[in-house]
């Protein structure tokens, strides 16, 4: 945006390149119209739509319930994805928040600075990642404590022979036992929260306009495609969790915590004044520009 004293660009221009002689479209339009069909599906052509943000939470809940019902009534045959040692689970899901954090950090920084030109506002928006980290840490700690206080150590996976001398999960496993407690699905929680957070942040692409030849366009497009693929992995592995792992109540609580983390931030707290704020949109940019002009 541009103040009287500053030389920055307005909301319609961005901070990179002028309007003379170049046709400028939003990054969402560029990917939606210029990329191959595969990229359109996994990147902005799908994920930035308002309908996706509106219905994805309901779709996750419905797929979790349907998958859980399938698991109970007609279990699917074992597959590569039902093995906890599969590549996606070991190298992606177990580090889901790290992947989400590392890709959203440059994406938020580049897109928000491009639109606002204010380092302070960018830092404020980047604090959403610190909030997300706190939610991840607090929820996983709660899950671990619940499993500890509701669990016991058994001699076999069939839950035979309680070992009363082992009072913790770690000690139980070290002695060759099997710990059984109420294990809220951390996968259901984290994959729900990460997928919804990525979709919320990618809504900014409707405002980001860049010259196609500029390096910023390449950087943002690359991040969009990476985030799109990551979201596809999160949703796929969420479905695998629904049909292969945990029981219904454990997945319901996990998914519920993910939804509460998302709605409590983007739906309730972030629209308020004293918060990290929502991704910049046209109305908020115009209001800020008018305040600078005054």
Among residues 114, 166, 187, 217, the one annotated as catalytic is 187
User: Which of 238, 165, 164, 214 minimizes the C-alpha distance to 16?
Assistant: 214
For residue 246, indicate whether it is catalytic.
yes
Beta bridge partners of 25: 210
In order of 250, 262, 270, the CA distances from 276 in angstroms are 31, 14, 6
The C-alpha atoms of residue 253 and residue 181 are separated, in whole angstroms, by 14
> Which residues are registered as beta bridge partners of 26?
209
Q: Can 114 be counted among the known catalytic residues? A: no
* Residue 50 burial (CB count, 10 A): 9
Q: Which of 252, 237, 242, 241 is nearest to 182 (CA)?
A: 252
User: Which of the residues 114, 166, 206, 246 is marked catalytic?
Assistant: 246
3-state secondary structure 74-96: CCCCCCHHHCCCCHHHHHCHHHH
Helix (H, G, I), strand (E, B) or coil at 26: strand
Give the integer Cα–Cα distance in Å for 229 and 240. 17
Contact call for residues 160 and 177 (beta carbons, < 8 A)? no
Q: Please name the residue ranges forming H helices in 150-264.
A: 169-174, 186-202, 215-244, 248-262
Residues identified as active-site: 187, 246
């Amino acid at each position: 945006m541009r103040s009287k004293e500053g030389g920055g660009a307005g909301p319609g221009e961005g901070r990179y390149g002028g309007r003379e002689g170049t046709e400028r479209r939003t990054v969402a339009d560029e990917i939606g119209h210029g990329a191959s069909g595969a990229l359109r599906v996994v990147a902005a052509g799908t994920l930035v739509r308002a309908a996706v943000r509106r219905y994805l939470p309901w779709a996750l809940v419905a797929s979790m319930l349907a998958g859980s019902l399938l698991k109970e009534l007609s279990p699917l045959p074992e597959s590569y994805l039902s093995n906890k040692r599969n590549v996606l689970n070991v190298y992606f899901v177990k580090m889901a928040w790290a992947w989400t954090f590392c890709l959203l950090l440059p994406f938020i920084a580049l897109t928000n600075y491009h639109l606002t030109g204010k380092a302070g506002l960018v830092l404020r928006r980047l604090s959403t990642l610190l909030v997300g980290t706190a939610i991840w840490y607090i929820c996983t700690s709660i899950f671990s404590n619940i499993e500890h206080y509701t669990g016991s150590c058994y001699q076999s996976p069939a839950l035979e022979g309680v070992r009363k001398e082992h009072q913790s999960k770690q000690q139980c496993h070290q002695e060759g036992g099997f710990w059984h407690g109420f294990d809220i699905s951390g996968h259901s929680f984290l994959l729900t929260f990460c997928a919804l957070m990525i979709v919320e942040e990618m809504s900014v692409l409707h405002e980001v306009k860049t010259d196609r030849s500029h390096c910023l366009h390449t950087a943002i497009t690359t991040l969009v495609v990476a985030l799109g693929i990551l979201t596809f992995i999160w949703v796929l592995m969420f479905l695998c969790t629904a049909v292969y792992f945990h029981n219904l109540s454990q997945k319901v609580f996990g998914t519920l915590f993910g939804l509460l983390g998302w709605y409590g931030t983007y739906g309730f707290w972030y629209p308020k004044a004293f918060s990290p704020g929502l991704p910049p949109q046209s109305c908020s940019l115009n209001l800020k520009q008018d305040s600078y002009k005054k």
